[in-house]
Chain A
Amino acid sequence: MKKLVTQFGLFLCFCFPFYVLCLILLQTFSPFGVLRKNINYPIGGSGHMHSRMKEVQELSDLDVLFIGSSHAYSGFDTRLFEEHGLRVFNLGSSSQTPLQTLLLLKRYLDQLQPKTVIYEVNPYAFSVDGVESALDIIANDENDFLSLEMALRINHLKVYNTLIFGFYSDLFNIHKGFKEGKQKGKETYISGGYIEKDLAYYEPKSFAKSIWQLVGKQKHAFEEISNILLDKDIETIYVQAPVVSAYYNSIINNSSFDSLIDSYGAYYNYNKLLQMDDSYYFHDYHHLNQNGAKKISQEVLKLLMD
């Protein structure tokens, strides 16, 4: 038995570096990602996350911090708030779930010291495992113990593998020279974290009835976020950005999500509060276009000024 324990221990000591080496070789050399499955390092991926993470390092003493999914970074136009003399930053990221929001707040809240946090919440973010958004953050921000904590909570091979590559990349500055253009396709990165999309209009379609099934670990992460903000005495406003009415009405249990968020503090569901013309204010079924972004930003600004 002693021999077994010793040999098995030695094998594990051999296996781990070998695994890491193979992982690095695969991620670095496999053509077009077709040979990769459980690893994805989307540096400079969607939503200009790389530019946003670079910019956030330089900031402090904010009046308002926006956080949430793509609804946040393409919905709250930071320029409008800056015109009113507010120091703001939009820390939204693609498909951001409470698990990633928690990581970003733990990492940057003390540095940014915002007076108010506008937290964009949506039931989709509470219903998914958070893998894709985790990869986005791992690839575009420096990794630390918090990244490991997030990976353990998500507990997914893809996140573990990508994080291993992320630590390697950070350690050896592999992507130091990487530069993300301000303009990518139809999206332009605006200083302050906002993404402006070329104006496009939504073409209506129908949606089958469905139901949100919220994931336990996302609800726990949300509770933790709420406690952190409460402990630090930061005014927090929870906002649900609008989606097209046909899509919103196709979900059977919107009200249960509303009552959940309502129990944590001030909550504004703009699907209920605003009547918006789907084909004028929307880019696709759940993203606002620039007209919509302007409108929702004005509404949030009114809230802040009140």
Chain B
Amino acid sequence: MLFNSLEYLFFLPIVFIIYWALAKVGLSIQNIFVLSISYLFYGWWDWRFLFLIAFSSILDFFIAKGMLAVKTRRLKKNLLLLSFLVNLGMLGFFKYYNFFLESFFSAFPFLMNAKTDYTLNIILPVGISFYTFQTLSYTIDVYRGKIKPIDDLIAFASFVSFFPQLVAGPIERAVKLLPQFQQPRIFSYNNTVNGMKQILWGLFKKMVIADNCAEFVSFIFNGSATYSGSTLMLGAVLFSFQIYADFSGYSDIAIGTANLFGFRLTKNFSFPYFSTNLGDFWKRWHISLFNWFRDYVYIPLGGNQRGIWKRLINVFVVFFLSGLWHGANWTFILWGLLNACFLIPNVLFSAWNIDRGVESVSHSIIRKILGGAFTFIFVSLAWIMFRSENVNEAIVNYRVVFSESLLAWPYFPEWRRAFFLFFLLLFFMGIEWFGRKGEYAIEKISDKWPRSLRWMFLAFIFFLIGVYAHTEETPFIYFQF
């Protein structure tokens, strides 16, 4: 079931009403209901993969309990390794089996004849990368003693499969979300209205900005060989808006939906395109994933503490893993490494500033604008790798972008149809700019306005969705990860 589908439009109010009606019956019944609707939501795509989530939930539930029961640290560690092995094993099998096989046979072409014997027709379960990381964070935190294992299997299974964030995050930590399943949720008018506003803004981002950009991005990238460097760069810029609006739109709908049910989820995007340097950008983009890598990979590897070379290596490891996490394609891995390369000056500069005891944040407006522009350009350049079908196509695209034709006037035959998009992007980024102090763009933007003006503003967003939404249901980009 997609957030931008007619089914969800009916599903959400129905489950909302039943959920709050059950609040009087008891917490455990409410949790059973959350678990049931989460499984229904997920099973809408493919019910067979429900067994996978259920298995993962039960396994990690008992592994965590086992960690409490065992006496020695070694046994505890073995249980953690078992959790790693099973969860990452499932992820590896479903997501990377054919990719590694393909890479292996490419490296050893003389064995190519045997390839068909080993190739499997595997369907990727939606959201597997997200919920695997979520359950892993639970067992790791129990191992580290940050949280105690939970006794309530229903609450734990609900935490793993909580439908708003199940298929594309935010990747929640047990420390934050699990206690919310153990405490009674209290209905709040303000939270609900806030949630509805965030859902509205998320839908606008997805259906109006992302899906309309997608049409032109596909048009440009599908014919990239025939276009100039400037046109391709325009395609990369539009893709920057598309992927941001698509993914942060999903996160907004997820967080807004969770709000309706009395849950608080992690903020996943913090207006990343207003970052003034790349380091800042990666603190604001897909926050829940990069925080996961920070806490479970970067810091255990030594983080910033063991000298500049070690720090650089750690950055490369994190970005390599983040690229691999995105998908079974070399383009994603290279996208991760490219971003790590772009980050090198930033890492060196901040280390140098720390050595000199100088504050690295600039207060000059001109430096901020220039920094913002360069950050956006570098991020957009890296998105070319991400958007290309394969590495060869990416190389061709980069060659075109860095040719003389980058200075030519961008051209593609769909300009007239793209005209409205220019105004929509202006509106979108304008609202994001004025609302950048809030949790999401329209949270506080109209707070102090009279009710009539506030409603007019919200109704105007409805109007923009009605008049400019892409009319075919298109899945969110991050569903494939």
Contact = CB atoms under 8 A, between A and B. Distances in A.
Contacts of B467: 22-23, 26, 36-39, 157, 161
B419 A19 contact: no
Give the size category of B's interface with A.
20 to 34
B462 A15 contact: yes
B78 interface: no
Interface stretch (B104-112, B185-193, B372-380, B431-439): B185-193
Interface string A27-53: 000000011111100000000000000
B471 A156 contact: yes
B94 interface: no
Contact of B466 (A3, A8, A19): A19
B193 A4 contact: yes
Contact of B458 (A3, A11, A36): A11
A14 interface: yes
A97 B460 CA distance: 34
Say what secondary structure dominates the interface of chain B. helix
B44 interface: no
A216 B458 CA distance: 37
Interface string B165-197: 000000000000000000000010100110010
A190 B165 CA distance: 61
A71 interface: no
B455 A1 contact: no
Contacts of A160: 466
A210 B20 CA distance: 52
A275 B466 CA distance: 49
A11 B416 CA distance: 35
Interface string A1-15: 101100110010011
B459 A18 contact: yes
Contacts of A23: 463, 466-467
B469 interface: yes
B420 interface: yes
Nearest to A18: B459
A161 B462 CA distance: 13
Contact of B455 (A11, A35, A155, A161): A11
Contacts of B196: 8
A160 to B, nearest CB: 8
Contacts of A19: 459, 462-463, 466
Contact of B187 (A1, A39, A161): A1
B466 to A, nearest CB: 6
Contacts of B460: 18, 22
Given A14-B459, A19-B462, A19-B463, A158 B471 contact: yes
B187 A157 contact: no
B153 to A, nearest CB: 30
B456 interface: yes
Interface string A130-165: 000000000000000000000000011110110000
B309 interface: no
Nearest to A20: B463
B10 interface: no
A156 B462 CA distance: 16
Nearest 8 interchain pairs by C-beta: A18-B459, A15-B459, A34-B419, A22-B463, A37-B468, A35-B420, A38-B467, A19-B463
Interface of A: 1, 3-4, 7-8, 11, 14-15, 18-19, 22-23, 26, 34-39, 155-158, 160-161
Given A11-B458, A19-B462, A161-B467, 16 more contacts: A3-B189, A4-B189, A4-B192, A11-B455, A14-B459, A19-B463, A23-B466, A26-B467, A34-B420, A36-B467, A38-B467, A38-B469, A38-B471, A156-B471, A157-B471, A161-B466
7 contacts: A1-B187, A14-B455, A14-B459, A15-B462, A36-B420, A37-B467, A158-B471
